[in-house]
Amino acid sequence: MITLTDTAASKVTELLEAEGAVELALRVAVRPGGCSGFSYEMFFDGDITGDDEQATFGDAKVVVDPASAQLLQGATLDYKDGLEQSGFSITNPNASRTCGCGQSFS
């Protein structure tokens, strides 16, 4: 299961509050594709199944499907808001290779 930093959890909560949808969860998934073989996908989701893995970080709820959970074991989701880097980023110890954009891995 992926872990959220405090900064990422705060940003997720902030985004959900801005949308007026605090009941939703952040779904993090791994899909085939991208220039390195797999790509990350993140979106707010209210459709949570019984086999989804779930975790809560502060007020932020995160769900991951079982297949993605295997590829995200030990991964961390962070959020940065600076001049050089802005947005969410995933650090994944399971990735042997990543592309230049940081959105896909193998």
Could you give the number of structural domains in the chain? 1
In the chain, DSSP assigns E strands to: 3-4, 25-32, 38-45, 53-57, 60-64, 76-81, 86-91, 104-105
Residue 87 lies in a domain: yes
**Is residue 101 in some structural domain?**
no
What does each of the 106 residues of the chain score in pLDDT, given as a tens digit? Answer: 899 999 999 999 999 999 999 999 999 999 887 565 788 899 999 999 999 999 999 999 999 999 999 999 999 999 998 877 789 989 988 776 554 444 445 4
Residue 38 maps to a domain: yes
Query: Is 46 inside any structural domain?
Result: yes
- CATH number for 24: 2.60.300.12
Residue 102 lies in a domain: no
Structural domain of 36: 3-95
Which pTM does this prediction carry? 0.83
Would you say residue 105 lies in a domain?
A: no
